[in-house]
Amino acid sequence: MEKVKLNNGVEMPKVGLGTFLLKPEEAEEAVYNALKCGYRLIDTANAYMNERAVGRGIKKSGVPREEIFLESKLWPTVYTKETAVDEMLERLDVDYVDLLLIHQPAGDYLAGYKAMEKAYKEGKVKAIGLSNFEGEPLKKILENCEIKPTVIQVEAHPYYPQNELKEKLKKDDIHIQAWYPLGHGDASLREEPIFTELAKKYGKSNSQIILRWHIQEGNIIIPGSKKIEHIKENVDIFDFELTNDEMKEISKINKNTRYYIPDPNLVASYATMELDPKADI
């Protein structure tokens, strides 16, 4: 598995398993299958309600903890809770996570970030970052942080490649991690003629061509699936390379269009949206 070096020296796999929308039993099995297929990056979050299941999948796999890059996210209602990180580690049944993100720019996210910095200094977290932060919230974090974010997890795909954000992050060597890397399952993206043409050339699927584009764009990707055939396919993208001309052709389909448009009122409501602590048992 190829890795990237984050701005604090930590190495992170370029491809991982996303567990968003996976029920606990699905997440446990998907994590187990992914680790058996060679994955070493697993992404979860408080809000996914499957952290305990992810921990069980890791244990079930038999893969040593030190070989796994485990990532989770703090939900806004726990940003100021002193025990939030310890409770997350208990749910995952681990001593540390490799990457911890602030999940949403809601509530007292500056306090949440400072709590992550503290956990980082205590060795409970190997790297810290942000999820869904752009614009003013990102600016506030960068102006007030003691430890720079290593990763920002945002929507990114060929229809919305995040070129402007990438340019802003260059000076701080912050990596983009793409969610919806395949465009939220949109057939119109997946079946773009350029991907069909390249899939035939390289003997790959259209999805594999898109994921390979991400890798060559410098994105870290976490495609999610509970199907073993898709889990296997999504990581089988390191035995070919797109040419510069092919990358340029793909860039032409950029529509600067998101699939998910954040609703400011909804995002603000996350600050009081409590999660059920027993939901992932």
Quickly list DSSP for 132-150.
S--HHHHHHHHHH-SS--S
DSSP run (H or E) holding 70: strand 69-74
Q: How far apart are CA 80 and CA 217, in angstroms?
A: 36
Q: How far apart are CA 189 and CA 206, in angstroms?
A: 9
Our answer to whether residue 48 is catalytic in this structure is yes
Q: Is 140 exposed, middle or buried (0-12, 13-18, 19+ CB in 10 A)?
A: middle
Cross-strand partners of 131 = 153
Helix 84-92 / helix 51-61 crossing angle, nearest 10 deg: 40
Contact present, 134 and 154 (Cβ < 8 Å)? yes
Q: Which of 32, 48, 79, 113 is catalytic?
A: 48
Catalytic positions, please?
Answer: 48
